[in-house]
A = this chain, B = another copy of it.
């Protein structure tokens, strides 16, 4: 008879190149490197990440196959970040088959981002407000620009700023675990989803101003409620898009 031992699951050792891949993905997704930027050179990356070049190359090879970066040889070459190309039909199909997962992901976002917004209202400093305000104006600009010319590039730029704004709020909450949770929640679901809309809605930026205002006024309840409303707006938009 084997012991039932629920709770002990097989461990999966994570290869060094997978860890590297993860970090590079994250750095691109959080907008540290935008489309067109060059990543640090192979040798620099190996140095920064303290792994061998071999490992860096393994990660790079995967990103290249995915089309996420372009590899150019020779002087002035390097790894150039490409705009992500999502297959919206595919994503939509996947999400339709996983309604429960989508719901859970949004519920989780509402919880952690709502709480982050509340704490941010209580703890924000002047520098936080300045940073968020700047992101807000950049988003306005990006949104307007995107209506004159709807390129994927513009959409990506807006989403990069959107991510930066939400993470900025989380940072202003000054709780490391909570920040990680927010980052995690966004990575898990929002990035693939968000990038699939393809074009921006006119109201995409409406709620951000309200959130910032609530944080500025140090009204925790309001800040939480506004953020929750914002995320639930997005949820509705997504659900409508899934119905279509």
A49 touches B104 (CB 8 A): no
Interface residues of A in 117-174 (CB under 8 A from B): 119, 174
CA distance A115 to B50 in the complex (A): 39
Query: Nearest B residue to A177 by beta-carbon distance?
Result: B108
B40 touches A5 (CB 8 A): yes
Number of copies: 2
| Interface: A42 (CB within 8 A) | no
- A108: chain B residues at CB < 8 Å are 175, 177-178, 181
CA distance A184 to B176 in the complex (A): 13
Query: Nearest B residue to A32 by beta-carbon distance?
Result: B7
CA distance A104 to B2 in the complex (A): 42
- Main SS class of interface, A: helix
| Interface: A240 (CB within 8 A) | no
- A178: chain B residues at CB < 8 Å are 104, 107-108, 111
**Which A residues fall within an 8 A CB radius of B?**
2-3, 5-16, 19-20, 23-24, 26-27, 30, 32, 40, 44-45, 48-51, 104-105, 107-108, 111-112, 115, 119, 174-178, 181, 184-185, 188
